[in-house]
Amino acid sequence: MFNRLRIEPAYKAVSAEIERSILSGQIQPGMPMPTEQSLAEQFGVHRSTVREAIRQIEQEGLLQRREGRRLFVTLPGLYDLAPRATRLLLLQQTTFQELWQVAVTLEPLAAGLAAVQANSEDIEALEANTALTAELQARGATSMEENIRLVELDVEFHALVGRASHNRALMLAREPISLLYNPTLLQIHLHLPQSKARNLVAHRAILDALLCKDVQSATEWTRKHMVDFQKGFEMTGLDMRTPITTAP
């Protein structure tokens, strides 16, 4: 007649209560946490239970040890959680096709928002990135080290556009996906040298659109850039349905 009760371990109940207090603002970032002994007394559990709960919350980035062993509440940065999400995508055997289907929506959206929200610091960072890319390409960029650097600049360009959107939800959504592009971009650069020049043309066009605050042009150029990326992937002979297995 009745379903079996699911009783969670005590440490999970403790960690959930501490997280609730942090997320609700009851405990603010920068505030010190009570000692393990004090927490054990407040929750009515053993110190080992509290220790395991704290370990779990630390892994979530909400607690940090400073001043010796003292625990403080901390606010994780937008990009601190991205590597963990990237590993999860790898474990889920996510394909390039799945990544691209999301990116072809998020990247143009980011560019469109950046055309409205970008400030002078955002533009300066994008101009510096584009100038470095152009300088490296002008030297030929034939070595493996140079190609790796071009990939880093390419990924950085789109990250800078994402940050220029000043939309935290979008930045957090796109970052784990963008980290998985590094190995793919390198293969495209090595097999299709002409892709480097095409990338630079697209980046310059996107930057010009941001400078002019042209939402439509920024969006359209980014979408064309993403479609070109897909074509480059296919031209290397890679299967879009194959799970991505290489971590950045």
**Closest among 172, 171, 160 to 207, alpha carbons compared:** 160
C-alpha 155, offset from chain centre:
11
Across 30-111, where does the E strand assignment appear? 63-66, 70-73
pTM of this prediction? 0.75
> Residue 149: is it exposed, middle or buried by C-beta count within 10 angstroms (0-12/13-18/19+)?
middle
User: Could you tell me if 213 and 95 are in contact, meaning their C-beta atoms sit under 8 angstroms apart?
Assistant: no
Q: How far apart are CA 202 and CA 19, in angstroms?
A: 44
User: Counting every residue, how long is the chain?
Assistant: 248
Domains and CATH numbers, the chain: 10-73 (1.10.10.10), 82-235 (1.20.120.530)
Each residue's pLDDT expressed in tens, for the chain with a length of 248 residues: 777 767 788 999 999 999 999 888 898 888 999 999 999 999 999 999 999 999 989 888 888 888 777 899 987 766 666 677 788 888 888 888 998 999 999 999 999 999 999 999 999 999 999 999 999 999 887 888 898 999 999 999 999 999 999 999 999 888 888 878 777 888 888 888 888 999 999 999 999 999 999 999 999 999 999 999 899 888 888 788 888 776 44
Helices 181-191 and 168-179 cross at an angle (nearest 10°) of: 50
